[in-house]
Chains A and B, each alone.
Chain A
Amino acid sequence: MIDVGTRPNVIAKNVHKHFGHVEVLKGIDFTVNRGDVVCLLGPSGSGKSTLLRCINHLETITEGSIEVGGEFVGYQRQGTSLSELHPRRVAKQRANIGMVFQQFNLFPHLTVMENLTIAPTMVRDMSAKESVESGNALLERMGLSTKAQEYPGQLSGGQQQRVAIARALMMKPTLMLFDEPTSALDPELVGEVLTAMKELALEGMTMIVVTHEIQFAREVADTVIFMDDGVIVERGEPKSVLGNPKEVRTQAFLSRVRVQMEKEQQSE
Chain B
Amino acid sequence: MPLRHPWRLSAAGILIVALGGTIWSIAKNPNVEWSIVAHYFFSDLVVNGVLVTLYLTFIAMAIGIVGAVAIAVMRLSENPVLSSIAKFYIWFFRGTPVLIQIIFWGYIGALYPQVKLGIPFTHVTFWSTGSSAIITPMLAAILSLGLNEIAYSGEIIRGGISGVAKGQVEAAHSLGLTPTQTTRKIVLPQAMRIVVPPMGNEVLTMLKETALVSVIAGRDLMTAVQQIYSQNYQVIPLLVVAGIWYLILTSLLSYPQRLLERRYGRSRVSAMGSSGSRRLLLGFTGSKKAALSHD
> Which residues of B sit under 8 angstroms from A188, Cβ to Cβ?
284-285, 288-289
CA distance in complex: A123, B189 (Å): 19
Q: How far is the CB of B286 from chain A (nearest CB, A)?
A: 10
A101 touching B170, Cβ below 8 Å? yes
> Please, how many angstroms separate the alpha-carbon atoms of A238 and B146 in the complex?
65
With A58-B173, A94-B175 already in contact, the answer to whether A189 and B168 are too (CB < 8 A) is no
Q: Which residues of A contact B179 (CB under 8 A)?
A: 87, 91
Task: State the 3 A-B residue pairs at the shortest beta-carbon distance, nearest first.
Answer: A95-B176, A153-B270, A151-B270
Contacts of B285 in A (CB 8 A): 186, 188-189
Given the interface pairs A152-B270, A160-B277, the reply to whether A123 lies near B186 with Cβ below 8 Å is no
Q: Which of B267-295 contact A (CB under 8 A)?
A: 267, 269-274, 276-278, 280-282, 284-285, 288-289
Q: Is B178 an interface residue (CB 8 A)?
A: yes
Q: In the bound complex, do residue A107 and residue B288 qualify as a contact, i.e. CB atoms below 8 Å apart?
A: no
**Residues of chain A lying within 8 A (CB to CB) of residue B176:** 91-96, 119, 123, 171
| B39-56 interface with A by 8 A CB criterion | none
Contact B181 A122 (CB under 8 A): yes
Q: Does B153 contact A (CB under 8 A)?
A: no
B→A interface (CB under 8 Å): 165, 167-168, 170-179, 181, 185-186, 189-190, 193, 267, 269-274, 276-278, 280-282, 284-285, 288-289
Q: Mark A146-158, 1 if CB is under 8 A from B, else 0.
A: 0000011111111
Pair B270/A103 contact, Cβ less than 8 Å: no
Shortest Cβ distance from residue B176 to the other chain A in the assembled complex, whole angstroms: 3
| A105 touches B (CB below 8 Å) | yes
Contact A118 B277 (CB under 8 A): no
User: What 1/0 mask marks residues of chain A from 189 to 224 whose CB sits below 8 Å from any chain B CB?
Assistant: 100000000000000000000000000000000000
Most chain A C-beta atoms within 10 Å of own C-beta, residue among B179, B189, B273: B273
A residues touching B (Cβ–Cβ < 8 Å)? 56, 58, 87-88, 91-99, 101, 103-109, 118-119, 122-123, 151-158, 160, 164, 167-168, 171, 185-186, 188-189
Which residue from B170, B177, B271, B284 sits with its C-beta under 8 Å from A105?
B170
Minimal beta-carbon separation of A134 from chain B (angstroms): 14
Nearest CB of chain B from residue A151's CB, rounded to whole Å: 3
A56 touches B281 (CB 8 A): no
Q: Can you list 25 A-B contacts with CB-CB less than 8 angstroms, sorted by A residue number?
A: A58-B173, A87-B178, A87-B179, A88-B178, A91-B179, A91-B181, A94-B174, A96-B176, A97-B174, A101-B170, A104-B273, A104-B274, A108-B272, A109-B267, A122-B185, A152-B277, A153-B271, A156-B280, A156-B281, A157-B277, A160-B273, A171-B175, A186-B281, A186-B282, A186-B285
List chain B residues, Cβ under 8 A from A92: 176
A109 to B189: give the CA distance in the assembly, Å: 7
Residues on B with C-beta less than 8 A from A108 are: 190, 267, 270-273
Q: Which of A98, A109, A167 has the most CB of B within 10 A?
A: A109
A144 to B285 alpha-carbon distance, docked (Å): 19
A170 closest partner in B (C-beta): B175
Closest B residue to A122 by CB, please name it.
Answer: B181
A95 to B175, CA, bound (A): 5
Check if B181 sits within 8 Å of A153, measured CB to CB: no
In the complex, what distance in Å separates the CA atom of A151 from the CA atom of B172? Answer: 17
Extra contacts, 14 of them, besides A87-B178, A106-B273, A108-B273 (Cβ < 8 A), are: A58-B173, A105-B165, A107-B186, A109-B189, A109-B193, A118-B177, A122-B185, A152-B273, A154-B270, A160-B273, A167-B175, A185-B281, A186-B285, A188-B288
Shortest beta-carbon distance from B194 to chain A in Å: 12
Q: How far does the alpha carbon of A94 sit from the alpha carbon of B289 in the complex, in Å? A: 41
In the assembly, what is the distance between CA of A164 and CA of B176, in Å? Answer: 15
Taking CB atoms, residues of chain A closer than 8 Å to B273 are 104, 106, 108, 151-153, 160
Are the C-beta atoms of B181 and A189 separated by less than 8 Å?
no
Contact B174 A98 (CB under 8 A): yes
Task: Give Cα A148 to B171, complex, Å.
Answer: 19
